Each structure stands twice: as structure tokens, then as C-alpha cells.
Amino acid sequence: MLHPPSPLPALDASGWLAAARRIPSPNCDARPDGMAIELVVVHNISLPPGVFVGDAVIELFTNRLDWDAHPYYQGIRGIKVSAHFLIRRDGSLIQFVPCGLRAWHAGVSSWRERERCNDFSIGIELEGDDETPFTDAQYVSLIPLLYALKQAYPIQAVVGHSDIAPGRKTDPGACFDWLRLQESNLTAAR
């Protein structure tokens, strides 16, 4: 079993990670009173699908996407979504929502018979898709982030979007290396 990297990235009292580039998203709101953060949900995203360059994901999460820039965008026109974190292919880490707030990443979802996973989870998007392996640089950023989140919050599990929205979502997909997380003791109770 691997040990946590040292030093761990630091989160401030609001849940902003000092090591992340901060690009605030308006697509967030308050968590229900007294709601503990117990779950991390791993996603993948690319816009348009399969394209891993450009800032379309950033523009989507900040409501600045040009809906007419690509035909695919017509099918998602007007949606308002976000995640707490995005890890780009080069491993760079962007934070859109402080962990203390609810990001809009999970949609209709359920974990251990609890609905509305956004209420008690943190969403991490990996730039990618279901068919393309993620980069080593992405895991090098993801694993310390997960350790920092587990240190700061009573995280019980790290799951995929497909685990909380089966039949509706498939991400992070078959190419995500869950074994890397298991070897780091990061997927207990998945």
C-alpha cells in the first residue's frame, strides 16, 4: 500500500485548495445545514467529446460557452453545471467551487439509498472520455487531492459518476484505473 504524499495540499476553511488555479463558477449553492461531505465523485469530461484541448470545459462551468461554436453544444445548450475540481490532461488542477459549497455535478443520483449526491459530495472532473486512458499526470494530481480531501472531511468513499447514476452515466469509464486508487487506500467502501 502506498502512503500519502507529503506534504499534502492544503485546503482553507472554505474549502479552496491553495495548490489549484481558482476560477469561480456561479453554478453552486449552499449545502443543506449540517450536511457532512462524505463522498467524492470522479467524472470525465471533454468538450466537444474526445477533444482535450481548449477551454470549453472552463467556459461551460463559468456559463461563458459559445453554444454556436460546435454542433455538439446545441444538445447541451443552456445547462448550468460545475464541479469542484478539474484535472487537465497535463495534471494541472483547477478549482471552480469551494468544497464548503455544493457544486452541480452529480445530477439525479443516489448512494447507499441517499439521493441528491450533490448535497454531500465533492465532484472531480478528469479531462477525458470513456475510451481514452487517463494520463499519469492526472493520477499524480488526483491522488494527493483525494488524500487532502479525506484529511479535511469525513469521506467514506470515492466513486464514479456511473456508481451513483447507473444507467444514466458511464464516467469515468472503463479506462479509469481504480486499482491505482485502491493501492493508495483511497476507494474504501466503493
Give start and end residues of each alpha helix (H) in the chain: 56-61, 136-152, 161-164, 178-183
Average pLDDT over residues 1-25: 84
Q: Look up residue 2 and give its DSSP letter.
A: P
pLDDT tops 80 at residue 189: no
Average pLDDT, the chain: 94
On the question of a cis peptide bond just before residue 172, with omega within 30 degrees of 0, the verdict is yes
What is the reported pLDDT for 10?
A: 87
pLDDT tops 90 at residue 188: no
Which of 3.90.550.10, 3.30.870.10, 3.90.870.10, 3.40.80.10 would CATH assign to domain 21-183? 3.40.80.10
Domain ranges of the chain: 21-183
Average pLDDT over residues 112-137: 97
What is the reported pLDDT for 7?
A: 73
What is the reported pLDDT for 9?
A: 81
* Residues designated catalytic: 125
Res. 1 pLDDT band, cuts 50 70 90: very low
Q: Look up residue 138 and give its DSSP letter.
A: H
What is the reported pLDDT for 187?
A: 66
Average pLDDT over residues 157-174: 96
HSE-CB at 124 with a 13 A cutoff on CA atoms is 25
pLDDT tops 60 at residue 190: no
In our burial notation (b when 16+ CB lie closer than 10 A, e otherwise), range 152-189 reads bbebbbbbbbbbbbeeebebbbeebeeebbeebebbee
The predicted-structure confidence for 28-70, as pLDDT tens digits, reads as follows 999 999 999 999 999 999 999 999 999 999 999 999 999 999 9
What is the reported pLDDT for 83?
A: 98
